[in-house]
Amino acid sequence: MYLEHFGFREYPFSLTPDTDYFYDSHSHGDVLNVLQVALRQGEGFIAVSAEVGLGKTLLCRLLLRKLGKDYVTAYVPDPQLSPRTLRIALAEELGMLLGARWTDDQLMRRLQRFLINVAGEGRRVVLLLDEAHQLPPETLEAVRLLTNLETEKFKLLQVVMFGQPELDRRLAEPGLRQLRQRIGYRCQLSPLDRDTTGVYIAHRLAVAGGRADDLFSAGAVNAVYRASGGAPRLINMLCNKSLMAAFGRGDHQVTARHARRAIADTAHSVEADSPLARVSRWVTRPFARNGRAA
């Protein structure tokens, strides 16, 4: 729509988690480094928590891309799984051929044999669970049991759980104390601050091939930051709509006026207590005086 107008090769603010656009902020870069170190050390369980829209899935996909040939990885994005379906999903992700009539015991033994064989090749198996805060308690217990097999040096299966803050509360439940005691590292992603938000926007513009220095005015960045609370997903949503607003008027710079139109257009689609919903009340008042959006 606006690619040629602004000189982009591709849309800079897509909501799809694209590792090419990963921005190494202080929080995200530190967590990624901790994950890589923890996996090299052979930790059995690692937990990463963050509020909605802070980039958990993108970080998960980037970790998958960075793990080299010494790792065999399995990615399970759907948390609504029973213990058996989780084991089946893990086996399928690992490329195992499954028997249609295997019992749970047979499936578990085959998984253990596979893990032992991979360890014999000098490699490690890593299971990444996205949206882990939604895993049922019995499935979390099944994950723990999968990690019981170990060598003298490291676990045969390492697990990285990505989830919303509810994951921390789930792990604090008395029934999950055995799993909680096995978590070697706990990491938390933080929102971007005002300055980092501006750098983040410029970074995505540059990756997409556009102007990174002055395409978004300082007023536009301030408005986007205030409304998004520094959450990358909301920043992307607002910046995309701000570019559309500027394109619709034939402008070649995004100003605070364009950003306010984007905020007013987006507030209805987010949670009522989000920064965006709260800021929308401040944003829409100037428009109402004229009876139309500016």
Q: Could you read off the pLDDT of 24-76 as tens digits, one per residue? A: 988 999 999 999 999 998 888 999 999 999 999 999 999 999 998 999 999 99
Tell me what pLDDT residue 99 has: 78
114 and 237 share a domain? no
* Tens digits of residue pLDDT in 196-222: 999 999 999 999 999 888 999 999 999
Closest CA to 63 of 172, 189, 165: 189
Is 173 inside a domain boundary?
Answer: yes
176 and 233 share a domain? no
Closest CA to 82 of 158, 125, 140: 140
Q: Which of 153, 188, 223 is the last residue of a domain?
A: 188
**For residue 83, what are the domain limits?**
26-188
Tell me what pLDDT residue 130 has: 93
141 and 267 share a domain? no
Percentage of residues of the chain with pLDDT beyond 70:
90
Question: Residues 220-234, buried b or exposed e (16+ Cβ, 10 A)?
Answer: bbbbbbbbbbbbbbb
Q: Which of 188, 218, 243 is the last residue of a domain?
A: 188
Q: How large is the angle between the packed helices 275-290 and 218-228, nearest 10 degrees? A: 130
* Tens digits of residue pLDDT in 95-145: 998 877 888 889 888 998 999 999 999 999 999 999 999 988 899 888 888
Closest CA to 119 of 83, 158, 67: 158
30 and 170 share a domain? yes
Tell me what pLDDT residue 3 has: 94
CA neighbours closer than 13 Å in the CB half-sphere of residue 222: 7
Is 215 inside a domain boundary?
Answer: yes
Residue appearing with tokens 């607002």: 238
124 and 203 share a domain? no
Tell me what pLDDT residue 75 has: 94
With a CB cutoff of 8 Å and minimum separation 6, the contacts of 249 are 258
Amino acid at 106: Q
User: Where would I find the H helices in 172-231?
Assistant: 177-181, 194-207, 218-228
Tell me what pLDDT residue 285 has: 47
Does the pLDDT value for residue 289 go beyond 70? Answer: no
Sheet holding 45-49, edge to edge: 71-76, 124-129, 157-163, 45-49, 183-188
Is 20 inside a domain boundary?
Answer: no
Amino acid at 9: R
- Confidence class for position 273, pLDDT limits 50, 70, 90: low
150 and 269 share a domain? no
126 and 207 share a domain? no
174 and 212 share a domain? no
179 and 216 share a domain? no
Q: Which of 167, 188, 209 is the last residue of a domain?
A: 188
More confident residue, 63 or 284: 63
Tell me what pLDDT residue 144 has: 87
Is 197 inside a domain boundary?
Answer: yes
Phi, psi of 268 (to 5 degrees): -70, -15
Number of domains in the chain: 2
Determine the number of helices (DSSP H) and then strands (DSSP E) in the chain.
Answer: 13, 5
Query: How many residues in the chain?
Result: 294
- Confidence class for position 270, pLDDT limits 50, 70, 90: low
Is 19 inside a domain boundary?
Answer: no
* Tens digits of residue pLDDT in 216-256: 999 999 999 999 999 999 999 999 999 999 999 999 999 99
Beta strands 124-129 and 157-163: pairing type?
parallel
238 and 115 share a domain? no
Is the pTM above the cut of 0.75? yes
182 and 197 share a domain? no
